């Protein structure tokens, strides 16, 4: 999950501004992408609530974050950003059924909302439903073939499961870099898989020097994959 301190993402490339809210507090980019609930009674309380949630999530106090989110849920009950954030908090508390329900509700409100679609697949991986997760992200990639975050997530899953070497080779091939941190983190993931942590660290250092805070989601996905700590 992403740290709440990253919710201000004005420096992200345009292609990332609508994918940034994916897992946690980047959902707090109010109005950056997706639809917002109209302003009305309680709108200011909802905004204040989301800012407090960001602070609580930075502190990893997810129980408090869920409590603080209530005014936003009451003020914007159909806002996919808020619903996705609830799902992200519940994911952190390992309430996977509750998280899935939140993501599905977000999609009912906004069927094309990418963050919730992405997170449903992430839940499958967290539940170690490997093959369904791989199939899910393959389908998502067919729908969004240029989405480098989906490509990266799929590559991590394939590497973890030693699956579909042909597709692995098509994802971020050597020598074809991208405009996001994805290529560098893909190279790092492959290096970890090959038992070369020093080589992996070099790619990550380059990515951080070029992209700064934009690397956070890629690092978090890499950490959650377990590739960096797996025994060889």
List of the chain residues with pLDDT < 70: 1-44, 232
The pLDDT assigned to 177 comes to 76
Query: And the tokens for 204?
Result: 């990550």
- In 3D space, the residue among 14, 45, 13 whose CA is nearest the CA of residue 215 turns out to be 13
pLDDT (0 to 100) of residue 228: 92
**pLDDT tens by residue, 3-21:** 232 232 223 333 343 333 3
pLDDT on residue 29: 35
CA separation for the pair 139, 104 (Å, rounded): 17
Q: Which residues are CB-contacts of 64 (< 8 A; sequence separation ≥ 6)?
A: 56
The dihedral through the CA atoms of 31, 53, 24, 114 has a sign that is negative
CA distance 99 to 116: 10
pLDDT given for residue 73 in this prediction:
93
Give the pLDDT of residue 174.
Answer: 84
pLDDT at site 43: 59
The pLDDT value given to residue 193: 96
Element spanning 205, H or E: helix 197-211
Alpha carbon of 141 to those of 11, 33, 153: distances in Å?
A: 25, 20, 10
Q: Supply the pLDDT for residue 132.
A: 98
């Amino acid at each position: 999950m992403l740290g709440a301190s990253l919710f201000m993402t004005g420096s992200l490339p345009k292609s990332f501004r609508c994918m940034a809210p994916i897992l946690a507090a980047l959902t707090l980019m109010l109005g950056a992408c997706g639809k917002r609930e109209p302003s009305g009674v309680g709108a200011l309380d909802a905004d204040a609530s989301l800012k407090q949630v960001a602070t609580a999530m930075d502190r990893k106090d997810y129980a408090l974050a869920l409590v603080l989110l209530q005014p936003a849920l009451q003020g914007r009950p159909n806002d996919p950003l808020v619903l996705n954030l609830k799902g992200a908090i519940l994911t952190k508390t390992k309430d996977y059924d509750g998280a899935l329900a939140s993501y599905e509700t977000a999609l009912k409100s906004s069927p094309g909302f990418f963050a919730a679609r992405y997170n449903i697949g992430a839940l499958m991986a967290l539940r170690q439903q490997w093959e369904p997760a791989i199939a899910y992200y393959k389908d998502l990639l067919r729908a969004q073939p240029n989405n480098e975050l989906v490509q990266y997530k799929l590559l991590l899953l394939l590497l973890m499961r030693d699956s579909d070497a042909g597709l692995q080779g098509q994802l971020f091939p050597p020598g074809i870099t991208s405009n996001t941190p994805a290529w560098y983190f893909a190279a790092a993931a492959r290096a970890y898989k090959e038992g070369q942590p020093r080589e992996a660290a070099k790619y990550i250092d380059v990515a951080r020097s070029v992209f700064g805070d934009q690397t956070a989601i890629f690092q978090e996905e890499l950490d959650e994959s377990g590739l960096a700590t797996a025994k060889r």
